[in-house]
Homo-oligomer: A and B are copies of this chain.
């Protein structure tokens, strides 16, 4: 039989990162392409204890059907925590637990957009989100990034040019892949533009709890007195990605539509996973855990940037991260980035070519992304040595 696919999906390719991830799980490759938390950052002992306690105390609740909105104790705790710690959430907001923050992108597109609508995205941006939007047949309008976040003039031009745009998608803190932190002034400017043009903001914030240097900046959601912001949070970077627990905090009307769509998507998120996250947040010292992980990531990042400065500092440029999991490396304009990354893979170092992240996949990129959380210290040393050799081949 000849299969015909939906027009939105027919042209979609598997995520370059997921495909590379598969490839780099082959032993012997340096996994700079991944985005996994460091194995030593995962609270394995605590989760082992928690899982055992849950299965001994409330085993039926952990295995039975639950409600779509999410496990009530976790929802209640998160609302309080996000309000207290980050001033996120108003009395007009509600919270839904999702199967990872990825599902927030999926549900936002599903709830808000018709085929052919536009969404405004930072360019470059996280491929998983861009592909979620593409899978609903949406038109991606890219806004170039400055060193302190989206270019505000270009954002306003994009808003003027795309009155059918349904939301602005942004990762203000440790943007993936660029690593950029949006300045406070720009966070306010983006919010004001959203208000002026009456458009929603989808604020994706997976990385802020990984900050190991610099000063914390308020989320855009913390300014949200007008019901304009959908906030996406996740436990993937701070407890476990494998458990697949994320959440959205957004105006009640939007969350109630998300609940309906989540019912039809996966009924609810694994209740055992949700209970584990709740117990970890409430019965363990969550802030101490975050601090402990910050030390791990600062050390790994320091090692990587020290070696980069030493080996290839004169040939490439990058912004030294203050958090997140990635370094965005810029090659001189004369260098063919794809050839560079291909050569690195031949030498068993996997990076992600910058073109994977552009809103227009045909756009030329001179950047690639490397990750410091997944590799061991030995792999970081080996990987940066190899990238130095490749740089010596390509950049005279």
Contact = CB atoms under 8 A, between A and B. Distances in A.
Nearest to A48: B55
Interface in A308-363: none
A208 interface: no
A265 B14 contact: no
Contact of A63 (B13, B15, B243, B270): B243
B260 A14 contact: yes
A47 B55 contact: yes
A270 B273 contact: yes
A309 B222 CA distance: 61
A52 interface: yes
A145 B261 CA distance: 28
B132 A100 contact: no
A65 B234 CA distance: 13
A106 interface: yes
Interface string A249-278: 001011011011101111111111100000
Contacts of A232: none
A135 B113 CA distance: 12
Contact of A42 (B14, B64, B265): B64
A18 interface: yes
A59 B36 contact: no
B62 A242 contact: yes
A67 B240 contact: no
Contacts of A98: 266
Interface in A179-228: 198, 200, 226-228
A152 to B, nearest CB: 21
A239 B64 CA distance: 10
Interface of A: 1-9, 12-15, 18, 21-22, 34-37, 39, 42, 44-45, 47-48, 51-52, 55-56, 59-68, 98-100, 102-103, 105-106, 110-115, 128, 131-132, 134-135, 198, 200, 226-228, 236, 239-244, 251, 253-254, 256-257, 259-261, 263-273
Q: Which 4 A-B pairs have the closest CB atoms?
A: A48-B55, A44-B59, A63-B240, A99-B266
Given A5-B257, A36-B65, A131-B264, 12 more contacts: A1-B227, A6-B110, A9-B110, A12-B261, A44-B63, A52-B52, A62-B242, A63-B239, A63-B242, A103-B266, A128-B264, A270-B273
